[in-house]
Chains A and B, each alone.
Chain A
Amino acid sequence: SAVISQKPSRDICQRGTSLTIQCQVDSQVTMMFWYRQQPGQSLTLIATANQGSEATYESGFVIDKFPISRPNLTFSTLTVSNMSPEDSSIYLCSAHQDAGINEKLFFGSGTQLSVL
């Protein structure tokens, strides 16, 4: 199974600043995703990180607020821009090894973000 390293594990940030979260997978994966879990809420898909092209965002999420990079098949970053307290959440990176086979969706340990 793939191992996903995500950093930072937690951060406390000031309103108006930006934070970039890094996700490194120990093997090449076909697809990478970014999820958010707000307090008391479910895991919500932010976007699919596409290797070599722009990310595909879900309804309610936009590139200006959550720019994503995926320069190769093992690495991706998510930036939370111009943060506000409402952005306080756990952000999770996940990855597929085989397209369309949901059992092989692995998750990083998450980034606990608090915005003051």
Chain B
Amino acid sequence: DQQVKQNSPSLSVQEGRISILNCDYTNSMFDYFLWYKKYPAEGPTFLISISSIKDKNEDGRFTVFLNKSAKHLSLHIVPSQPGDSAVYFCAASAYYNTDKLIFGTGTRLQVFP
């Protein structure tokens, strides 16, 4: 039972353009959502998060949008840079177990010049 889904295994975007990575979830108890970024041979690193009380959180070039009614969140990267090329994981946790993160399968983003 995949509670967090990233249906696009890969995405290719030209440098300077917007990258949009999508994530869907099924558990209505999830109230906190995170994006992690992973380079090859490295562990995932935290990128940005959003609480269910918000519908948008922005940090520099990165913005996460949350649509609770659709159980959908997205990560926007503007403008995209070649250094953004990595695997992006969406993760979620529920208020009753904040230490347990449920991860999606990841989306490999490639930003080309």
Contacts and interface: CB of A to CB of B under 8 A. Distances in A.
Interface of A: 4, 6, 9, 31, 33, 40-45, 48, 58, 92, 94, 96, 99-100, 102-110
A107 B44 CA distance: 6
> Interface residues of B toward A: which range?
20 to 34
A103 B34 contact: yes
A42 B105 contact: yes
A105 B98 contact: no
Contacts of B101: 43, 45, 102, 105
A105 B46 contact: yes
A31 B99 contact: yes
Nearest to B92: A102
Contacts of A110: 41-43
A17 to B, nearest CB: 24
B98 A107 contact: no
A107 to B, nearest CB: 3
B93 interface: yes
Nearest to A99: B99
